[in-house]
Structures are given as structure tokens and as C-alpha cells.
Amino acid sequence: MVIALLNNRGRDPSRLPYMEKQMARIYVATSWRNNEQPEIINTLTAEGHECYDFRNPPHREGGFHWSDIDPDWKNWDATTYRDHLLNSPIASHGYLSDLRGMEWADTGLLVMKCGNSAHLELGYMAGRGKRTIILLDDGEPDLMRLMADDICVDMDEVLLALRNSPY
């Protein structure tokens, strides 16, 4: 608890004093497999926040899919994966789109269930000193989630954290 207080982490958003509502630019980090992603984007934008939506990035060319490189991508070995990651213009374009989204945003929201990329994205944002929020699910605990500024269990808590942010 002492570490959490020193790092401004682990705060209960409902106990923070109400501050003037500030609109955030939010990078929503999650998985294509997370069916809640579109609803979360809609909820945040309805509250007046701007969101980077990796499924519908601002360049209007659609989001990145490994299947755009190779329909058989699920059967790649490590060498094939690395070669496509390092040499594919499609992968480079998808990476740069998401990186620009992270740079544009002042807040990162990690929505569980998600994969490695979403965790790397939130870690990058935390390392850049941006506000970070995790929306937990009932999955496996992880100690490094203490890195986040706010840890929430539902969208109401996420919205409250955004309203009461010291950032």
C-alpha cells in the first residue's frame, strides 16, 4: 500500500475529490477477439473523449490483420513470423498506425481479455509517463498491473477515474 501511494497507484476513484471533467485522448489497448471493444469505444466517445480505435484507425484503411499478410498466419513458425514482422510493409504500416495512436493519446486503457500487444502498448504508455488505466476481468492476477494509475473492474469506474484524474 505504501508503494501504491508513493507511485500514485491503487487509488480508489470513488474516494477522489471531484475535479472539473477533462476530456481525454484515449488509446484503447485490447484484442480483436474482445467483443466488448466497440461498445467501450462508443461509451468513451459518448462521454466526450476521443479514442484511437485500432479496428478503425484514422487513416481509414482498416485495422491491421495478420491474415492480410498470409491467410495461413496461424501456422507460422518463429522464423517465418520474424521474417514477416521485420520485412512486411503491411506489418510496418499497422505498427506505425498504432504507434502514432499511442503518441497522440494522453491516456492508455488496457481492456482485459487481451494479448501481448495490448500489454506492450500499455507498458510503452506508462514508460512515456502517460496516464494508464486497466479494466480488469476475472482472469489471472498479475503483479505488474500495479504499474497502472487506475485499476478498474467496470466501465463506471473507468469513467469515474477519467473524471477524477490528477493528470
Strands 131-135 and 150-152 come out as parallel
Could you tell me how far CA 49 lies from the centroid of its own chain?
14
Domain locations along the chain: 2-11+22-58+73-163
**Residues 163/142, Cβ–Cβ less than 8 Å:** no
**Residues 131/152, Cβ–Cβ less than 8 Å:** no
pLDDT in tens, 47-68: 999 999 988 887 667 788 899 9
Structural element, H or E, at residue 134: strand 131-135
Report DSSP letters for 99-124, one per residue: HHHHHH-SEEEEESS--HHHHHHHHH
Q: C-alpha cell of 112?
A: 482485459
Entry pTM: 0.83
pLDDT given at position 21: 55
**Is a pLDDT exceeding 90 seen at residue 149?**
yes
pLDDT in tens, 10-37: 444 444 444 455 689 999 999 988 999 9
pLDDT in tens, 99-128: 999 999 999 999 999 989 999 999 999 999
pLDDT given at position 49: 95
* Dihedral over alpha carbons 37, 119, 21, 50 (to 10 degrees): -50
pLDDT given at position 167: 57
Burial class (CB in 10 A: 0-12, 13-18, 19+), 145: middle
> For the residues 58-86, what does the mean pLDDT come to?
90
Angstrom distance (rounded) from CA 151 to CA 7 = 13
Q: Regarding predicted confidence, which is higher, 57 or 5? A: 57
Angstrom distance (rounded) from CA 86 to CA 111 = 27
Q: Which residues contact 29 (CB under 8 A, 6 or more apart)?
A: 108, 109, 110, 111, 114, 117, 118, 119, 121, 122
Q: Regarding predicted confidence, which is higher, 131 or 19? A: 131
- In CATH terms, the fold of domain 2-11+22-58+73-163 is Rossmann fold (3.40.50)
Per-residue pLDDT band at 139 (split at 50, 70, 90): confident
* Tally: H helices and E strands in the chain: 6, 5
